[in-house]
Amino acid sequence: MEAAANGRHIHHEQLRREKLIIDTDPGVGAYLCEKAGHPEIPVAKGSSEPLKGGKPHVADFVHGSDGLGNIELPDPSIKKVEQRADESLVDKVSQFPGEVSVLALGPLTNVALAIKRDPSFVKNVKEDCCARWSFLRGRKRHPCS
């Protein structure tokens, strides 16, 4: 198996596996894990409201009510774990300090709750990819930020 990267071919033996947490809507996360053939990946439900309370602002006019452009996909069969998203973030990053990258899509409520739960979360994350979070942290920025 070969993959193109920067105009050259690399063999699968040259690819390395990275530990990555994607913080996104759990329905989207479960669907992506299922379609990628990895139903064993845990999917946790995040905060249902903003940190300051109130109703969350949903950009369904952009992303559709399902988060994927209203393309009417079947519900994923993957069940969410009991652990909340902020607990899962802290647990996984603490289990593998300096090895786990976080890709935060959308509001940063779960990341903020993870930092509140364990302030060492920030220094234990290998790399993040989120413009607002990277800008505030000022370190370990990913080029896509």
**Domain residue ranges of the chain, discontinuous segments joined by +:** 14-49+57-137
Spatial neighbors of 82 by CB under 8 A, at least 6 apart, are: none
Greatest mean pLDDT among 59-63, 65-69, 110-114, 138-142: 110-114
Give the distance, in angstroms, between the CA of residue 89 and the centroid of all CA atoms in the same chain.
9
CATH fold, domain 14-49+57-137, is Inosine-uridine Nucleoside N-ribohydrolase; Chain A (3.90.245)
Q: Does the predicted TM-score (pTM) go above 0.75?
A: no
CA dist 98 → 80, 102, 121, 127 (Å)? 26, 11, 10, 8
Higher pLDDT, 9 or 88: 88
CA dihedral sign, ordered 100, 29, 131, 137: negative
Cβ pair 129, 100 in contact under 8 A: no
pLDDT tens, 24-69? Answer: 876 778 888 888 888 888 888 888 888 887 777 666 777 677 767 7
Q: What is the CA radius of gyration of the chain?
A: 16
DSSP secondary structure letter of residue 69: S
CA dist 140 → 84, 95, 122 (Å)? 26, 19, 10
Instruction: Give the amino acid at 144.
Output: C
The pLDDT score that the predictor gives to residue 95 is 96
Higher pLDDT, 80 or 123: 123
Q: Which residues lie across from 11 on neighbouring strands?
A: 2
